[in-house]
Amino acid sequence: MTKKQLFAAAAEALKNSYAPYSGYNVGAALLCSDGTVYTGVNVENASFPAGCCAERTAVFSAVADGHRDFTAIAIAAGKGGVAGDSAFPCGICRQVLSEFCDSDFKIYTGKSIDEISEFTLGELLPYSFGSANLR
Ligand code: THU
């Protein structure tokens, strides 16, 4: 699975984003180490804090299905259900990713399939708090 293919899956998922309040649509595609891909979208709510980001939706779907070993996530975002913005995972999503992913986990974001930037979780969430702190 290439980063372009993963981004294409995120952009396809973006079409199902439910964001009537912000109008900002996000799709995510999470690649498991066995090659399985889980997608997620942001799901907003009239009670605003009840909504959930696309990245967490994808992680929670994968975990619910028995997957905990992930290698990469692609994020496609934009207004009007079309990718066009380069979106980074929010702080809460970075923390959720860090529960399951190593610092070399890849994060792909970009305005289009031909303009993808690549980061690691370690770059986006340095000095993170994790389960090791609780041992
Ligand atoms: N959102 C995501 O789904 N992922 C991000 O990484 C940033 C923000 C969503 C949450 C909300 O539905 C909308 O984008 C505006 O914040």
Look up the pTM and report it.
Answer: 0.97
Q: Which atom of ligand 1 is nearest to the CA of 22?
A: 15
C-alpha gyration radius of the chain = 14
DSSP code at position 127: T
Catalytic residues: 55
Residue with tokens 């370690």: 122
Domain assignments of the chain as residue spans, ordered by start:
3-134
Determine how many CB atoms are found less than 10 A away from the CB of residue 48.
Answer: 9
Q: What is the mean pLDDT of residues 103-112?
A: 97
- CB neighbours of residue 3 within 10 Å: 17
CATH fourth-level superfamily of 3-134: Cytidine Deaminase, domain 2 (3.40.140.10)
C-beta 85 within 6 A of ligand 1: no
Q: What is the mean pLDDT of residues 88-107?
A: 98
